[in-house]
Structure 1
């Protein structure tokens, strides 16, 4: 985006920052003060409609407007000139007129406008279209719920009053499409909006700043993605009824493509919440959830530790400490390590919490002498898992145990994705986008043995249908079938492997003394230095 305010001021004298309006460095409204209200006018080839639209802003509302931002999205007509001309009229609110030198698209133009609104210290911003399709006369009603603090977003809906949209000139096919898409999107999102497809909106600027809107599309489904983001963040949306205006404005929306895009957005979101796909315009939770359900890797590790006597546990990759909390309830003392400190983790780990990136190794502060180390879904996130496993061996007691879980890349799901030429990452699961290493059963055995461990047990778990489906009879039935198939063919149907490991450091009796074989190996004797028995052969072997 190019800020052309300087050029406009030279050509017209007053476009740009108007004397008396507040700069972006001024503090926003606080306490009971009137919030700074801005109107963002997005315009493309709106030369014939822009000034008429702006003239319709109620005269008694204009003094409440801190700034009007007119963003011309590289129009081929005189939209910029029309906006500049209107901004110079006497008695108009402070107005900024800008023209992009490159067309950013409907969504891209909004992104630029919301960034500008934040930079200029606005508290509330109302989206208004320069073609006059949405009623500027409704601006006071659009901002009122935000001023009262009742919500984070207000949408003007043409569908709240039955029949109004058709009476206002909305074509029947658009009315039908709007109703069908809104019903479908509500069903997928779990919302109850009367209209998903209104472009008349008002937002709290601080709410927009908490949403990753820069990751959104630059196309017309930008508005749908914002609805999804607001819902995902638990923000409040209010709808108010607005009149419908259809005149001689030019529509640049490809209806079929738009319908496909908005449905794709909501479906993509639903799949992402189940772990499929990346959906990078929706924030990913910082903390990993405890894996509920019989047969999960967490349940398997918890069951193993329930059978072992209480001791000191090092939980690497502990996240928010939800697993540690369950171990503490069994009588274990847990020390946690993770690269992010999630709220509440300190209270859940009585042995302390250490902030560290495991890619750089274990922090020295964790100490040693642990009875157990839990590495649940961790080693696949580091580039050198064998190095991390070797470090974990160093903090264990000689007879300690490591409880390890990793995804099975040989599972039918990942095999199918690769065979179909559709390999890509997901938000979680086997193809989690943060995974750096992938394991089969054979490669897992090789990795842990090269790190100096014996495998005491190695089992496969079934697919987490309880997590994908949220419980219920279907999840129970599919989970049972998955566990049965996993027992029959673990390398194909096993979703994760859970391993119980112990350091490969056998005790060997020599001349009445116990010798730690691993300690001997670590000294790296040369052949000539090795102790020998009476027959001259090496006395230490594995």
Structure 2
């Protein structure tokens, strides 16, 4: 599928973001994070340098930026980037602090429209949507300052719930139900598995980043997002003990 068609899909899907109010910020105190955003705001403040220059690709409605700013994280500049024009319109309307910058950019090749360098690049629920993640991550690596990092979060194909589905002969779709054909609210999908094009494990992503994309090391983090039959405290312990089995892929890739 061409990039214009992908952009059109996301403009339709996220049309409401153009006029919605700014999201309510998350607390940075997240001892038991249970989703990608709460996990990110729990980890990022202690890893970001003072007056950090940040680029967020696939910035969505700005929840990450709003949470970090409201939580008092020291920010030098924060560039919000997204492929969707609807989302960019909402970001420009809701974020008026002078530290924010805006760029409608294609994460396949952001250096064409974004000028670095940055201390951190944030990519939550994005890399699985890229047509060519290998070359995209090489390009994104070029935007980092020495010692900078990319924070990535993506579904973990090897999580225990998906291993169970595979064992039973079902495709473990990561953004939909009915083996990639039905959205969570019961509609037929427009893109198969809601546009997830690639599926990663911790190991596969780490090998790609270090062996092919120029990153020096990858640091794993873990959080529990799964069936409620497991208590959040128990799930968090499991995710931190063995993220490859009990967590979605969440990691810091350092330049």
What TM-score do you get using the length of structure 1 for normalisation?
0.35
In 1, are the aligned partners of 2:156 and 2:200 still within 8 Å (CA)?
Answer: yes
**Are residues 1:391 and 2:153 paired?**
no
Partner of 1:331: 74
Once residues 139 and 24 of structure 2 are traced to their aligned partners in structure 1, the CA distance between those partners, rounded to angstroms, is 25
CA drift at 1:478: 2.5
CA drift at 1:290: 8.8
Cα distance per residue 1:448-476 (max 9 Å; x no partner) = 102111225212221156xxxxxxxx68x
Task: Evaluate the alpha carbon distance shift between residue 459 and residue 424 of structure 1 in structure 2; reply closer, same or farther with a 3 A threshold.
Answer: closer
Secondary structure (helix, strand or coil) at the match of 1:344 reads: helix
Once residues 153 and 25 of structure 2 are traced to their aligned partners in structure 1, the CA distance between those partners, rounded to angstroms, is 12
Structure 2 unaligned segments of length 5 or more: list them. Answer: 1-11, 18-22, 181-192
Equivalent residue in structure 1 for 2:39, among 291, 300, 309 = 300
CA drift at 1:356: 2.5
Cα distance per residue 1:240-296 (max 9 Å; x no partner) = xxxxxxxxxxxxxxxxxxxxxxxxxxxxxxxxxxxxxxxxxxx95556x89966323
Once residues 241 and 45 of structure 2 are traced to their aligned partners in structure 1, the CA distance between those partners, rounded to angstroms, is 27
Cα distance per residue 1:186-216 (max 9 Å; x no partner) = xxxxxxxxxxxxxxxxxxxxxxxxxxxxxxx
**Are residues 1:344 and 2:90 paired?**
yes
In 1, are the aligned partners of 2:124 and 2:152 still within 8 Å (CA)?
Answer: yes
Once residues 172 and 158 of structure 2 are traced to their aligned partners in structure 1, the CA distance between those partners, rounded to angstroms, is 15
Secondary structure (helix, strand or coil) at the match of 1:438 reads: coil
Task: Evaluate the alpha carbon distance shift between residue 392 and residue 285 of structure 1 in structure 2; reply closer, same or farther with a 3 A threshold.
Answer: same
Task: Evaluate the alpha carbon distance shift between residue 427 and residue 401 of structure 1 in structure 2; reply closer, same or farther with a 3 A threshold.
Answer: closer
The alignment covers a number of residue pairs equal to 209
In 1, are the aligned partners of 2:117 and 2:145 still within 8 Å (CA)?
Answer: yes
In 2, are the aligned partners of 1:375 and 1:405 still within 8 Å (CA)?
Answer: yes
**Are residues 1:443 and 2:204 paired?**
yes
In 1, are the aligned partners of 2:81 and 2:103 still within 8 Å (CA)?
Answer: yes
Equivalent residue in structure 2 for 1:498, among 224, 243, 250 = 250
Once residues 238 and 173 of structure 2 are traced to their aligned partners in structure 1, the CA distance between those partners, rounded to angstroms, is 25
Cα distance per residue 1:4-26 (max 9 Å; x no partner) = xxxxxxxxxxxxxxxxxxxxxxx
Once residues 138 and 174 of structure 2 are traced to their aligned partners in structure 1, the CA distance between those partners, rounded to angstroms, is 29
Secondary structure (helix, strand or coil) at the match of 1:352 reads: strand
Task: Evaluate the alpha carbon distance shift between residue 410 and residue 378 of structure 1 in structure 2; reply closer, same or farther with a 3 A threshold.
Answer: same
Once residues 352 and 319 of structure 1 are traced to their aligned partners in structure 2, the CA distance between those partners, rounded to angstroms, is 14
Once residues 324 and 428 of structure 1 are traced to their aligned partners in structure 2, the CA distance between those partners, rounded to angstroms, is 26
Structure number with greater CO (CA < 8 Å, separation at least 6) is: 2
Structure 1 unaligned segments of length 5 or more: list them. Answer: 1-282, 466-473, 504-542
Task: Evaluate the alpha carbon distance shift between residue 394 and residue 434 of structure 1 in structure 2; reply closer, same or farther with a 3 A threshold.
Answer: same
Once residues 25 and 246 of structure 2 are traced to their aligned partners in structure 1, the CA distance between those partners, rounded to angstroms, is 18
CA drift at 1:418: 2.0
RMSD over aligned CA atoms reads 3.0
CA drift at 1:320: 1.3
CA drift at 1:383: 2.3
Task: Evaluate the alpha carbon distance shift between residue 427 and residue 441 of structure 1 in structure 2; reply closer, same or farther with a 3 A threshold.
Answer: closer
Once residues 253 and 67 of structure 2 are traced to their aligned partners in structure 1, the CA distance between those partners, rounded to angstroms, is 21
Partner of 1:353: 102
Secondary structure (helix, strand or coil) at the match of 2:61 reads: coil
Once residues 357 and 390 of structure 1 are traced to their aligned partners in structure 2, the CA distance between those partners, rounded to angstroms, is 14
What TM-score do you get using the length of structure 2 for normalisation?
0.70
Secondary structure (helix, strand or coil) at the match of 1:358 reads: coil
In 2, are the aligned partners of 1:311 and 1:331 still within 8 Å (CA)?
Answer: yes
Partner of 2:130: 382
